[in-house]
Amino acid sequence: MQEYYNYIKSLHLIFVITWFAGLFYIPRLFIYHIEAWQKPSPEKEILSKQLKLMTKRLWYIITWPSAVLCVLFAIWLLILIPSWLQQPWMHIKLAFVVLLILYHLKNHQIFKQLQRDEVKYTSKFMRIWNEGATLILFAIVFLVILKSTFNWIFGVVGIVVLGILLMLGIKLYKSIRSKNPNA
């Protein structure tokens, strides 16, 4: 089975990438959908219908299948190399994966609400929410690459700094957008 390790790992990484692509894009579509509801009729209905279709296709054709396949290939890798489960870095990585799955499920809940024309969040909230996948991705990649050499002080400070930079970027974008609504 070890001769298949690189193929399984490659497929795992491919589905990690496509899963994250879906998780990065779906909140953007949520933002557009929420903002479409502020438009006058019939523009609101036309945009909403198109955005529902786009999110449905992204969610069910790319994001959900990628999430499932990513997890299946990850489990297969853990079966091939069970000693990873004894490594502290893997415990932390798996905790971040659980957090990612919870983020995914919350996106599913928001997706279902918007499909029913229930707008419960602001576009500002969704812009901040959109950064959740980015923070989780950074944490997981650094854990996997650095493993036991990961310095937790620098790692935690780095994630906090990244979060602050993302929030500042959102504020900057908001100020630019308020000066130029077409930006």
The amino acid at residue 44 is K
Do 129 and 27 contact (CB within 8 A), yes or no?
yes
47: left (phi over 0), alpha (psi -120 to 50) or beta: alpha
Is 91 annotated to bind a ligand? Reply is: no
In terms of Cα–Cα distance, which of 152, 151, 139 is closest to 97?
Answer: 139
Q: What is the DSSP letter of 84?
A: G
Is 93 annotated to bind a ligand? Reply is: yes
* Binding-site residue ranges: 12, 93
* Binding-site residue ranges for heme: 12, 93
